[in-house]
Structure 1
Amino acid sequence: MWLTNSFFDYLQYERCYSEETIKAYREDLRQFEEFVKGENENLNLLEVKAEHVREWIVSLMDKGYTSTSINRKLSSLRSFYKFLLRKGEVTVDPLQKVTGPKNKKPLPVFLRENEMNKLLDEVDFGEGFKGCRDRMIIEMFYATGMRLSELIGLDTCDVDFSSLLIKVTGKRNKQRLIPFGEELKTSMMEYVNVKNESVSVCSDAFFVRENGERLSRSIVENIVKRNLSKVVTLKKRSPHVLRHTFATAMLNNNAELGVIKELLGHESLVTTEIYTHTTFEELKKVYNQAHPRA
């Protein structure tokens, strides 16, 4: 008992941890000690070995704890045994060769094709310049998969209507070319005409406010969130959702992963591969809904 109390004093007075953090550490150690005693009532915390920690991890997983929660509990144990090691109470850290479960990366959130069709073909974006611009922003994200920063930084001279190419500047100022089709060309030309008629101030920026200023991140985020809310109830309704939607739609329509990687401007194919998991999850969902014996 005095060892744990000494540890908590150390956290409070030397590390200046908050009461809530110390409370969490206290609960983690209590839970671990309870497990150890349940396995062997004669075993104390100074005699714990790596195998006991691994068995505890398995028991937590069996109880349904997430990898994030388990790794947080392991962090409490690591701090405790490092403290004991410095104090000379133990000679070996039992967590030295213990690794926690890997945190699963959340799958990208995206809209289905029918939801995007409804958004672009049926939703009323409003009249005039702002309505035309807001719809153009949604369509641009969906048709090109570009990042929010790339859309904001887009200049009018970056759009080549004759070659059907858009030049974007991505992360670390790396530039790439994104092709586009006739449908997007028609929408962009309509937007440019409306912009020229409605915005008197000349600007290099492709997407602007009514006063000619380049759009900010927050304005674009609000435009996307407001309009996605009209067709979906997703918690996440950001521009990145439309980027994910572009990639998923390309993959579902037989585009090669390497091509999608280049269009998105990913450094590594590993980053792009997450979309294969997304489409597989969609396949499983459709199967479970459609197959009579699923």
Structure 2
Amino acid sequence: MQVQIDAYVDHLRHERRYSPHTVSSYQRDLERLRSYAEDRSVSSWPQLQLADLRQALALFHRQGLSSKSLQRWLSAIRRFYDYLIRENLAEHNPANGLSAPKAPKKLPMTLDVDLAKQLLDQAPEDELDARDTAMAELFYSSGIRLAELAGLDMQDLDLEEGIARVLGKGRKQRIVPVGSAARDALLQWYDVRRDMTSAEETAVFINRHGQRLSHRSIQLRLKQWAQVRGYFGRLHPHLFRHSFASHLLESSGDLRAVQEMLGHADIATTQIYTHLNFQHLAQVYDRAHPRARKRNGKVQADQSGSGDD
């Protein structure tokens, strides 16, 4: 069974060109099922049936796996069996018809517009702060993911046109906007970058040794960047992405455009920001509308008039 897992992992890594993180997740999920099967004297993948997977799902749930983790696990199993069927190593997919417990939907956190402005409007304190400000501006301006920013090369940015070409999930390329504030911050960083690395280095964002910044370094530097500006909440690249999407949708109402800029394959993924904006409007309503305010658990009616029109 391990032989088939290894072959599938190679397929994901070299043919599908999945990211190392995604490949690692698939491998971990499949080996969890292999271990479960071998404990029950199952020696080949075709032997597993729907009832076996249902029992495995129930066991993993009792062991504390979240609904989201179980959904990911089940998705990995389905795709693995699809691969086995294509390779004539199995005749049916026992994961079809099986569903994981639904996870409660969590609305993404976002920065308030004024707080985002407060953080981004502060002038950089030194050369590396100029780099970190450029990263923050680009995250907020373009809504790109951490891996997309880390992978940016100089040739991917056209500051005159105000666009960036990024390589998203599934190695799909898309073009995203780069706003004027982000362009100004990038130009300031370019002046610094020129003296920090060789002409052969293609990465936009580099460390003090002139090499491409790692994902982890970007996360840590953004956290430090925010703290220098007096923000000690949990600031991370996806917070800027969520804020970009929410603020843009709130201003434009164009869900399809936001979907395209975020690189979402399914518009249902983008619709979470519609729920977020409705939640914001509901909070405004609760604070401001006279018929929404409550006192001692009861709706407080407006008694300022006689009731006549």
| TM tier, smaller | 0.5 to 0.7
How far did residue 242 of structure 1 move?
0.7
**Per-residue deviation, residues 42-77 of structure 1 (Å, max 9, x unmatched):** xxxxxxxxxxxxxxxxxxxxxxxxx96xx9xxxxxx
Matched, 1:106 2:103: no
2:198 to 179, 196, 201: 201
1:231 deviates by: 5.0
Say whether the 8 Å CA contact 1:118–1:231 is kept in structure 2.
no
**1:290 CA drift (Å):** 2.4
**Residue number in structure 2 paired with 1:280:** 278
**1:182 & 1:118 partners in 2: Cα distance?**
17
- The aligned amino acid for 2:221 is I
Q: Does 1:237 align with 2:235?
A: yes
What is the rounded CA distance, in whole Å, between the counterparts of 1:100 and 1:139 in structure 2? 39
Do the aligned residues in 2 keep the contact of 1:201 with 1:211 (CA within 8 Å)?
no
3-state SS of 2:176 partner = strand
Answer with 1 or 2: which has the greater Rg: 1
CA shift, 1:214, in A, is 0.2
Q: Quick check: 1:136–1:187 contact (8 Å CA) kept in 2? A: yes
Check if 1:126 corresponds to 2:143: no
Instruction: Give the number of equivalent residue pairs.
Output: 205
Instruction: Provide the identity percentage.
Output: 34
Distance 1:125 1:183, change over 3 A: closer
> Which residue of the partner structure matches residue 224 of structure 1?
222
* Structure 1 residues 100 and 195: CA distance shift in structure 2, 3 A: closer
**Quick check: 1:154 aligned with 2:152?**
yes
1:212 alignment partner, SS class: coil
Q: Is the 8 A contact 2:176 2:261 kept in 1?
A: yes
Scaled by the length of structure 2, the TM-score of the pair is: 0.60
Cα distance change of structure 1 residues 200 and 104 upon mapping to structure 2, 3 Å threshold: closer
CA shift, 1:200, in A, is 3.8
- 2:143 maps to a residue whose letter is G
Matched, 1:262 2:254: no
CA shift in 2, pair 1:100/1:267, >3 Å: closer
Give CA-to-partner distance per residue, 1:121-162, whole Å, 9 cap, x none: 13x6531x2010011111110000000000000000111123
Other structure's SS at 2:108 match: coil
CA 269–284 in structure 1, closer or farther in 2 if over 3 Å, else same: same
Distance in 2 (alpha carbons) for counterparts of 1:247 and 1:225: 21
> In 2, are the aligned partners of 1:115 and 1:231 still within 8 Å (CA)?
no
Is contact 1:147–1:240 with CA below 8 Å preserved after alignment?
yes
Shift of 1:251: 0.7
- Cα distance in 1, alignment partners of residues 100 and 176 from structure 2: 41
Q: 1:101 Cα deviation (Å)?
A: 7.1
Give ranges in structure 2 of 5+ residues lacking alignment: 1-38, 41-57, 71-98, 293-309
> Structure 2 vs 1, CA of residues 151 and 101 (structure 1 numbering), >3 Å: closer, same or farther?
closer
AA aligned to 1:272 is T
CA contact (8 A) 1:111 1:242 kept: yes
Alpha-carbon spacing, 1:248–1:174, altered in 2? closer, same or farther (3 Å)? same
Please tell me the residue identity of whatever aligns with 1:246: F
Distance in 2 between the 1:184 and 1:102 partners?
Answer: 39
C-alpha distance 289-125 of structure 1, shift in aligned 2 (>3 A) = farther
The 10-residue stretch of structure 1 (110-119 or 161-170) with the greater mean CA deviation from structure 2: 161-170
Structure 1 portions without partners, runs of 5+? 1-13, 16-20, 26-66, 72-98
For the residue of structure 2 that corresponds to 1:167, the secondary structure is: strand
CA contact (8 A) 1:164 1:180 kept: yes
Per the normalisation by structure 1, the TM-score is 0.62
Distance 1:100 1:261 in 2: 26
Q: 1:103 deviation in Å?
A: 2.4
1:181 deviates by 2.8
Q: Distance in 2 between matches of 1:239 and 1:116?
A: 13
Q: Does the CA contact (< 8 Å) of 2:137 and 2:181 recur in 1?
A: no
